[in-house]
Structure 1
Amino acid sequence: MHRKVLLFLLSLFIGAAAPAFATDAPTANMPQVGQVAPDFRLQDQNGHWQTPADHKGRWLVMYFYPKDFTVGCTTQVCTFRDDIAKLRKAGADVVGVSLDNVKSHQEFAEKYHVPFPLLSDADSKVASTYGVLTSMGGVHYAKRTTFLIDPHGKIAKVYVDVDPEKNSSQVLSDLAALKAST
């Protein structure tokens, strides 16, 4: 088991050190642009339940990430944290989702002063529904993937293999373009 965890952490480090370019090509089992976003009911770092209804009428940035406290995931949460005022001004809410438990999310959010919900998908059902569940060495985690969901609950954009440092700025740019085209 120790070897599996080491391989998993190494893959996260390599992924953070050499992130792939974000694409708009979701895999076949991911919800596609124009489809209604799959439903979810998950607890945040404070133990409160979150559903899509909590974000009705607003854009929702729902980003999946592999693991609390890893290099790439810390970078990503901090860039969304730093851009949260701009995202809210643009009419968007942000939620981060991983398979970590509520306690881990609480510690992660406290350490990095995260001002938005981090949702615990400990049973991996939501990650599976969104087509982002994967594993390495027997360890399951969510692939780093972001969904931009419009105020009507439909998928507006999918970011696959995102760069954790650039994801927030990509979302802001695309959000402005999508709002301008409607």
Structure 2
Amino acid sequence: MGLKVGDTIPNFKAKDANGNDFDSQNIVGKKPLVIYFYPKDNTPGCTAEACSFRDQYEDFKDLGAEVIGISSDSVSSHQQFSEQYKLPFILLSDNDKKIKTLFGVPSGLFGLLPGRVTYVTDKNGVIQMIFDSMLATKHIPKALQAIQKLVS
């Protein structure tokens, strides 16, 4: 069973795109978050999703929220992906799939592809919305709407 609306985001640690240690305790419970899981760096859908989050990143920041992208790609893959597309938000490497498992992110397409799921939390780290869809660019407006509702 995965996380549900009303659950609090569990603690997790990972490496970011720069190889730095990321600890969720430093950010969860301090500001609204958009945590999105995606299948793979440099694939058409994932690139479109990341660039859409990039293009609307200021809208999220203006509302006091942070965006975190998570996939099982390596730190070096994330670094290249982040630099190539000038991604201003945090990318985390979940190469052992522990975070994905912790959240209960399902696999898409008959279990062949990692899932594409977005979680929106309030400033207390409580999940307010979960959006599960392989339609990559649909995640950004859904997440922004949910954040706008939280802060209004």
The alpha carbon displacement at 1:138 in A equals 8.2
The question of 1:33 aligning with 2:5 is answered yes
Work out the CA distance in 2 between the residues paired with 1:138 and 1:34: 26
The question of 1:158 aligning with 2:103 is answered no
The question of 1:89 aligning with 2:65 is answered no
Match of 1:18? Answer: none
* Superposition TM-score, scaled by structure 1 size: 0.77
Three-state SS of the structure 2 residue aligned to 1:167 is helix
CA RMSD between the two structures:
1.8
Aligned residue-pair number:
151
Match of 2:144? Answer: 172
- Amino acid corresponding to residue 38 of structure 2 in structure 1: Y
Match of 2:33? Answer: 60
Gap runs ≥5 in structure 2:
none
- Does the 8 Å contact 1:146/1:162 carry over to 2? no
Work out the CA distance in 1 between the residues paired with 2:83 and 2:38: 18
- Does the 8 Å contact 2:16/2:91 carry over to 1? yes
Gap runs ≥5 in structure 1:
1-28
- Does the 8 Å contact 2:13/2:23 carry over to 1? yes
* Superposition TM-score, scaled by structure 2 size: 0.91
- Does the 8 Å contact 2:119/2:127 carry over to 1? yes
Work out the CA distance in 2 between the residues paired with 1:58 and 1:51: 15
The alpha carbon displacement at 1:137 in A equals 8.5
What is the percentage of aligned positions where both structures have the same residue?
A: 36
1:72 maps to which of 18, 40, 45: 45
The question of 1:120 aligning with 2:87 is answered no
Q: Which runs of 4+ in 1 moved over 4 A?
A: 135-139
